[in-house]
Structure 1
Amino acid sequence: MLCAKCPGQWHWWLEHPSPADFYISRWQSNRSALPLLSLRTIVCLYSVGVLVATLTVTPRALGSNAMYWLLYFPHWCFLLIVLTSFFSSAVSAYVYFKKPIDATFGLPWYVKTYWVLYNVTIPLAFLISTFYWGLLKTSGKMTYYNPHPVLDVMLHGTNSLVTLVELVMSAHPSRLIHIFQPLLFSLVYLIFNVTYYYAGGLDPFGHTYIYPVMDWSKPQEAMVVVALTGVFLSACHLIVVAIATLRDTLARRCLKENVGICNEGFAA
């Protein structure tokens, strides 16, 4: 069932009746924006540091043009993590240093931007970690790797941990209907991947594909991988919604609230 302050007609759109949920942690009993601002600032600085490191180390170690860095989906997703952490920090900083968010005429653009980035980034981070360590690393055909083992883990492992922290500590909802957002972003990368192949692009090692499991000289096999990836991404989004619901339930019990914030993700 829907909670009283979560009108069903808002589920399609980026609107939410409580703007404070975007800058106050679900686990705090006061209304200060400082706790979440502090956490988000740390995550943002960490993400920017990893991004700078990988942009510096990876092309130099591979002896390739830095533009090749943009070929790979985990790098696209890590850029999203940086953007998400920046906008989340900006939302919290705006409230802490200036004033509470006024949502009389709807959520401001910067809150909606953060929410879209949040919706896209978290399930994709889960997907990247599973896809990389479960498929590419074990396929025996992986041609790309990060030459620095620590950066390799940060790009394909701790990326999920960082986004999980944001998911668990936030208070705003994760909605099933927003599944189209990560799927649309993935579709953009798919179009890029196919276009790059048919335009004659090569990877840093001279291969005609970016990923061996998505070799478009074998379109049927590649489409199977694409379809399975779409299914798994949908499952990752469902997991995100489930975690948000569990978060709210546990927080309500820990804070001993009789009436708490509901995650309206499973509402009809």
Structure 2
Amino acid sequence: MKVYLKTQFRLSMFKLEHENPSDFYLSCWQKNRTSLPFFCVRLLLFLTCVGILVSSLVIMGGSFSNLGLWFIYMTHWGVLLITITTAFATVVSCQVYFKGPIDATFGLPWYTKIYWALFNTTVPMAFFITIYYYSLLAGYVGEDWQLDPVLDFFLHGMNSIIMFILLMTSRHPIRLMHFYFVLCIGIIYLAFSGIYYAAGGLDPLGNHYIYPTLDWKLPGQTAIMAVVAAVSLIVVYLLVVALGAIRDALTGNFAMRSETMHVSTEPY
């Protein structure tokens, strides 16, 4: 653990660079070198996300007086982002399947870096949305706004299942220092909610807030909630790192160890 922490807390670990590009298109569970199995898994996850996204837009968008209200919720940001994440995951696998292995001589390709950044953002974000919704919001939504129960599960439960599958089938490392990706999206959403309130925005029920726990009429409560959410996002990200370590241990994948050997010669 001491060696692991020493190698993780380096400036180089903030970057989106990795010495083994095959870790981004091979599954940790496969023993061969073909990208086809993981390509199929990622494509299936992407199509599932597209189905959830389209269903949500059609069902919920139709019930809103303004379709633009669909975009004010973090849940829907999450659905949109996991769809984009699985799309880029599929692109990485597709590029390798049709054009050959990734050449990282001069660094990882841009689309691989985007996928990695999105992965670091959307996996913990999906887990956070599920925990936040079922612990604080499920009762409120149920009382004031009847949400289709099947769609409700796919928006707030299946999102985490999809990201969990992507996490546990991937091979690339999950670095402690990449926590800032999900923290940034949290800050962006907080800023958006404040701007939306200042502009006089309403939720579909006519309330002057997006979520009852994020009401800018009560700045003290909102500030506390923002701090709690930020800490929670970091804790959830640490959970993702732990799950990645368990994944590596279960599959005998020592990508983290090889990465450690690579960066151990670099200066702090």
Mark yes or no: TM-score above 0.5: yes
Question: In the comparison of the two structures, how many residue pairs are matched?
Answer: 258
Which residues of structure 1 form unaligned runs of 5+? none
Query: What is aligned with 1:23?
Result: 25
In 1, are the aligned partners of 2:8 and 2:175 still within 8 Å (CA)? no
Deviation string, structure 1 residues 5-59 (Cα, Å, up to 9, x no partner): 9995531200000000000001111111011101000000010011011101102
- Give 3-state SS (helix, strand or coil) of 1:214's partner: coil
**In the alignment, what sits opposite 1:133?**
134
Within the alignment, does 1:168 sit opposite 2:162 as a pair? no
Write out the 4+ residue segments of structure 1 that deviate beyond 6 Å after TM superposition.
141-144
| Normalised TM-score (structure 1) | 0.90
Change (3 A) 1:7 1:22: farther
Opposite residue 91 of structure 1, the aligned amino acid is V
Query: For 1:24, what is the secondary structure of its paired residue?
Result: coil
1:228-247 deviations in Å (ceiling 9; x for gaps): 11111111000000011111
Shift of 1:155: 0.7
Tell whether the 8 Å contact from 2:215 to 2:222 is kept in structure 1 after alignment. yes
Residues 19 and 168 (structure 1), Cα distance of their counterparts in 2 relative to 1, 3 Å cut: same
Q: Counterpart of 1:57?
A: 59
Structure with greater helix share of residues: 2
- What CA distance in whole angstroms lies between the structure 1 residues aligned with 2:92 and 2:131? 30
Q: What's the CA shift for 1:184?
A: 0.5
| Aligned equivalent of 1:13, options 15, 30, 34 | 15
Q: Any conservation in 1 of the 2:8–2:176 contact (CA below 8 Å)? A: no
SS at match of 1:227: helix
Q: Label 1:111 to 1:147 Cα distance change in 2 as closer, same or farther (>3 A).
A: same
What amino acid does structure 2 have at the position aligned with 1:89?
T
1:12 and 1:218 map into 2 onto residues whose CA distance is 36
Over the matched positions of the two proteins, sequence identity in percent amounts to: 42
Give the alignment's Cα RMSD to 1 decimal: 2.3
- Deviation of 1:141 (Å): 7.4
TM-score between both structures, scaled by the size of structure 2: 0.90
Equivalent residue for 1:154? 154
- The correspondence for 2:37, drawn from 28, 35, 50, is 35
SS state at 2:14 partner: coil
Which blocks of at least 5 consecutive residues in structure 2 are unaligned? none
Cα gap change, 1:48/1:261 in structure 2, threshold over 3 Å: closer, same or farther?
same
